[in-house]
Amino acid sequence: MAKEQTELLEDEPQNLNWTRKHLLDIDSFTVAEYDLVLKTASAMKEILSRPIKKVPALRGKTIATLFYEPSTRTRGSFELAAKNLSADVINLASASSSIVKGESLIDTLHTLQAMGVNGIVIRHSMAGAPYLAAKHAQASIINAGDGWHAHPTQALLDMYTVFEQKKHLKDLKVVILGDSRHSRVARSNIWGFSGVGAKVTLCAPLTLLPPGMNYRYHPYQGVEIETDIQKALEGADVVMVLRLQKERQNAGLMPDVREYIRYYQLNRQRFALAKPDAMLMHPGPVNENIEIEPELIRCPASVIDQQVTNGIAVRMALLYLVIGGKKDEI
């Protein structure tokens, strides 16, 4: 009964090699998977340039956003991405739902399941929550950030932004400047960029690096540590600045903001040490005058705004890959 298909049948497109039911992290992404995401994101970005930014790819599917931590930009980005694919969206934000009443994550998932959602985008303050969700939901789970652990869609959009401009990622020098200890954005970017052969350097005081990395063990292969900002920025192709959260300032991890600014703020002189065509990135929201000088925020090298636009394209790509099509139960 089997037909031999050595060539593509007429009307038959090339099929995707995507097997992930969930997007929980990018730790195990292969180069082929990164390539596929970047390619699909390109196609989606073109759609965003059209007058009608909508395609019917996810028509009839429902996506819920379940955000236990407040967020305007990420949630809005996912919502737009889903709507551009013609999916229906419901938003559950912690301040306004039974989450505050004490309903457990698992109960909330069962409720959403009973409502028939196909995909759940979840952001949670505790590492591992999306994995718990994936164990208990039949819908596809997309991690929009869990505690300090991972923020896979941010890393993918950052990688796409660099790829769009540089046309390749291998061997680029990527410097992540700032508090990576508490940053899921940093951790996912470390995985992502090193996974495709870029060279990642972390620059921050030792107290703001992931614990133990500086002296005892190295969970990330090939990642460099450099506490001197001048040395770190030399020859950088990409400088990614992380936000310094107010809470860190009072938690005994560093003396005070003044000292941080003096030795770790990205200003024009320091940025000039990077390559002339270096890209400046920031996951947002930006603390002007703290981790970055305001003049740099909109300088020609800055792609902070493109990151936001690309965020929608990359999330459209991921929603299409993870939730699109007829997904049989695994």
Partner 1 sequence: MTNKTVLTAEDIRRTLGRMAHEIIEHNRDLSNIVMVGMRTRGVPIAHRLAENIKKYEGTTIPVGVLDFSLYRDDLAHRNLQPVVESTSIPVSIDEKIVILVDDVLYTGRSARAAMDALIDMGRPSSIKLAVMIDRGHRELPIRADYVGKNIPSSRNEDVRVKLSETDDTDEVSIFNLGETQEE
Partner 2 sequence: MKSRLIIKDGLIIDPARSLEVKGDLVVEDGKIIQSGPGAASSFNQNAEVIEAKGMIIAPGFIDFHCHLREPGFEDKETIKTGSLAAAAGGFTTICCMPNTQPSADSTSTLSYIRETAARDSRVRVLPIACVTVDRAGKTLAPMIELAEAGAVGFSDDGSPIADSWIMLRALEYSKPLGLPIINHCEDPALVANGQMNEGKISTLLGIPSSPAISEEVMIARDVRLAEYTGAWVHIAHISTAGGVEIVREAKRRGVRVTAEATPHHLSLTEEAVMNYDTNARVNPPLRTQEDIEALIEGLKDSTIDIIATDHAPHTSSDKNQEFSLAPAGISGFETALGVVMKLVHDGRLTMAEVVSKMTIAPAAILVGAGLKLGSLDNGSIADITIIDPGQRWVVDSNAFLSKGKNTPYNRMELKGKVAFTIVSGQIIFNGTKNSQTL
| Least Å from the CB of residue 302 to partner 2 | 28
268: buried, middle or exposed (CB in 10 Å: 19+, 13-18, 0-12)?
exposed
Sheet of 199-203, strand order: 224-225, 199-203, 173-177, 238-241, 279-281
- Which of partner 1, partner 2, none does residue 178 bind to, with CB < 5 to 8 Å depending on kind? none
Looking at beta carbons, which pairs linking 50-58 to residues 24 or more positions away fall under 8 Å? 53/84, 54/83, 54/84, 54/85, 54/86, 55/84, 55/85, 55/86, 56/85, 56/86, 57/85, 57/86, 57/320, 57/324, 58/82, 58/85, 58/86, 58/87, 58/319, 58/320, 58/323, 58/324
Q: Give the integer Cα–Cα distance in Å for 194 and 26.
A: 11
| Least Å from the CB of residue 152 to partner 1 | 20
Of 26 and 57, the one with the shorter C-beta distance to partner 1 is 57
- Which of partner 1, partner 2, none does residue 124 bind to, with CB < 5 to 8 Å depending on kind? partner 2
Identify the residue among 96, 300, 326, 329 touching partner 1 (CB under 8 A): 326
Q: Give the integer Cα–Cα distance in Å for 74 and 295.
A: 25
Q: Does 124 bind partner 2 (CB under 8 A)?
A: yes
Of 47 and 80, the one with the shorter C-beta distance to partner 1 is 47
Q: Does 328 bind partner 1 (CB under 8 A)?
A: yes
Q: Give the integer Cα–Cα distance in Å for 99 and 109.
A: 11
Q: Give the integer Cα–Cα distance in Å for 183 and 174.
A: 16
Of 116 and 211, the one with the shorter C-beta distance to partner 2 is 211
In this structure, the chain runs to a length of: 330
Q: Does 105 bind partner 2 (CB under 8 A)?
A: yes
Of 47 and 213, the one with the shorter C-beta distance to partner 2 is 213
In the numeric block, the tokens 């991405």 are attached to 81
Q: Does 15 bind partner 1 (CB under 8 A)?
A: yes
Q: Does 329 bind partner 1 (CB under 8 A)?
A: no
Q: Does 106 bind partner 2 (CB under 8 A)?
A: yes
Residues 62-121, interacting with partner 1 (CB under 8 A): 85
- Which of partner 2, partner 1, none does residue 149 bind to, with CB < 5 to 8 Å depending on kind? partner 2
Q: Does 117 bind partner 2 (CB under 8 A)?
A: no
- Which of partner 1, partner 2, none does residue 184 bind to, with CB < 5 to 8 Å depending on kind? partner 2
Determine contact, residues 38/44, Cβ cutoff 8 Å.
Answer: no
- Evaluated on CA atoms 210, 211, 217, 219, the torsion sign reads negative
Of 167 and 216, the one with the shorter C-beta distance to partner 2 is 216
Q: Does 44 bind partner 1 (CB under 8 A)?
A: yes
Residues 127-166, interacting with partner 2 (CB under 8 A): 127-129, 131-132, 146-150
Contacts of 55 (CB under 8 A, 6+ apart): 47, 84, 85, 86
Of 22 and 187, the one with the shorter C-beta distance to partner 2 is 187
Determine contact, residues 144/318, Cβ cutoff 8 Å.
Answer: no
**Residues of this chain that bind partner 2 (CB under 8 A):** 27, 104-106, 124, 126-129, 131-132, 146-150, 184, 187, 210-213, 216-219
**Residues of this chain that bind partner 1 (CB under 8 A):** 1, 3-4, 7-11, 13-16, 18, 36, 39-40, 42-44, 46-47, 50-52, 54-57, 59-60, 85, 317, 320-321, 324-326, 328
